[in-house]
Amino acid sequence: MQNLLAAFNEHDANRVAQICAPNCEVVDVGEAGPLRGREAIKASCERYLAAFPDLRVEPDVPIVDGNRGAVAYTVTGSHRGNVLRIPATGKAVTIRGACLVTVHDGQIAQLLTVWDLAGLLRAIGLLPDL
């Protein structure tokens, strides 16, 4: 999990994809459906990095049990490109999320990531504050 977060923070979409198994499945609340395979994962990563070119992921302490792990995280960045078909607003965002990871043979086989989509929409001005 640390390698994945480091690759994301280095904005290295190729490395993110290579950390994943060739048939990896990623479920992300920001995607229309599951992502399957390295190319789809790389493309998704590139979209997020284009939308938030200063994106940074700060993980909490991960929990690991055998070949499975979980970590809560905080993402920060500036909305400088399209995300979820929403044009750039230039606004700074701080979003919380969590992911569950299953590893086989040293590569990520499955990843589920759930993050505060409503919080993102509030931060960029598309939903009212609570």
The per-residue pLDDT for 12 is 98
The per-residue pLDDT for 76 is 98
Q: Digits of tens for pLDDT over the chain (130 positions)?
A: 788 999 999 999 999 999 999 999 999 999 999 999 999 999 999 999 999 999 999 999 999 999 999 999 999 999 999 998 999 999 999 999 999 999 999 999 999 999 999 999 999 999 998 8
The per-residue pLDDT for 36 is 98
Question: Residue 117: phi, psi to the nearest 5?
Answer: -60, -40
Measured CA to CA in angstroms, residue 28 lies from 33, 34, 35, 40, 116 at distances of: 8, 7, 8, 12, 11
Of the candidates 112, 27, 34, which has an alpha carbon nearest to the alpha carbon of residue 70?
A: 112
Spatial distance between the Cα atoms of 75 and 57, rounded to a whole number of angstroms:
5
Q: Which amino acid is at 116?
A: D
* Fold classified for 2-123: Nuclear Transport Factor 2; Chain: A, (3.10.450)
